[in-house]
Chains A and B, each alone.
Chain A
Amino acid sequence: MHIDLQTVCRVFEDVLNGSMSREQADRWAYAVVQEEETGIVTYSPHERERIWAGVMYLYGVDTMKAPGQYLHSDNDIRAAMDAKLGEVADGQAATLLLALTSGRRNAQPVS
């Protein structure tokens, strides 16, 4: 399995625009964590730390504080996406985030 920053950004964005449920995002992140444990996940160069931070945020993003009430608001998730993925030295992710938040909605659920 190969993961790049764009893939993680897409999952965040899909959660925020409703095309992916939080439960699906959680299961996607869980699968990444499981595969990471077996050592078969590869990352794009220089992106590993940000990718992992994003994955670990998405893992458990469906946590609830009461039945039917998610712990995190959309604002929480958006802030986390910016904080964990947005700080890219070469500006690649910042450009990507701009593209994603300016109407790009053709992302496919990640399997």
Chain B
Amino acid sequence: MTVIPGDDVTRSLDNRVGAGATTERPAFAAVVVQIKQASPASQPLSHERLHQIDRVFFGPFFREKYGRGGDKALENDRIRYYGLIQPTDDGSELAGRRYVHEFDTMTGCTRGWHETVDRAGKVRQIRPERNDGIARHYQFDGNGRYRGSW
């Protein structure tokens, strides 16, 4: 250990200082720098701004994999990435299905599900991805009313 003359390397903030101690002027004066706040505390970043940042930061990662069909920022700090619609030619009102990947920017958690959409673009069925691997379909009518599951 190198001992610097005039400096007590063993002293710490917990050491008691004797009554006869005198205040010694430090060799270097501390320079106080006022840190400029990026945003005043009274004006937090708006949701839109947060989403913009999240999209820039996470976008390239998720959009490439799950968001070829677009993405949407929700008000609860989540971003949904939509896959391309995989068409079906069964001649019914259903247009196809797509995979939706949702990312929670606050927790980092993700979840996903498959949506079946009709030709009007309305979601008519969802199939969440469950940890136990059991697939269950939840259906809705053209007005968004829940019809049942199977």
Contact = CB atoms under 8 A, between A and B. Distances in A.
> Which among A23, A60, A76 has the highest number of chain B CB atoms within 10 Å?
A60
Contacts of A76: 86-89
Contacts of B90: 65, 71, 73
A76 B87 CA distance: 7
A82 interface: no
Contact of A71 (B65, B116, B133, B135): B116
Interface stretch (A1-9, A51-59, A90-98, A99-107): A51-59
Contacts of B92: 65
A26 B116 CA distance: 16
Interface residues of A, number: 22
Prevailing SS type, chain A contact patch:
helix
Interface residues of B, number: 23
Given A36-B65, A63-B114, A65-B125, A71 B88 contact: yes
B89 A64 contact: no
B89 A75 contact: yes
A73 B89 contact: yes
Contacts of A72: 86, 88
A26 B129 CA distance: 11
14 contacts: A30-B133, A36-B65, A57-B86, A60-B127, A63-B116, A63-B125, A63-B127, A64-B137, A65-B92, A65-B125, A67-B150, A71-B96, A73-B89, A75-B89
Given A36-B65, A65-B92, A65-B116, 17 more contacts: A27-B133, A30-B133, A56-B66, A59-B99, A60-B99, A62-B135, A63-B97, A63-B116, A64-B137, A65-B90, A71-B96, A71-B97, A71-B116, A75-B89, A76-B88, A76-B89, A80-B86
Interface of B: 65-66, 83, 86-90, 92, 94, 96-97, 99, 110, 114, 116, 125, 127, 129, 133, 135, 137, 150
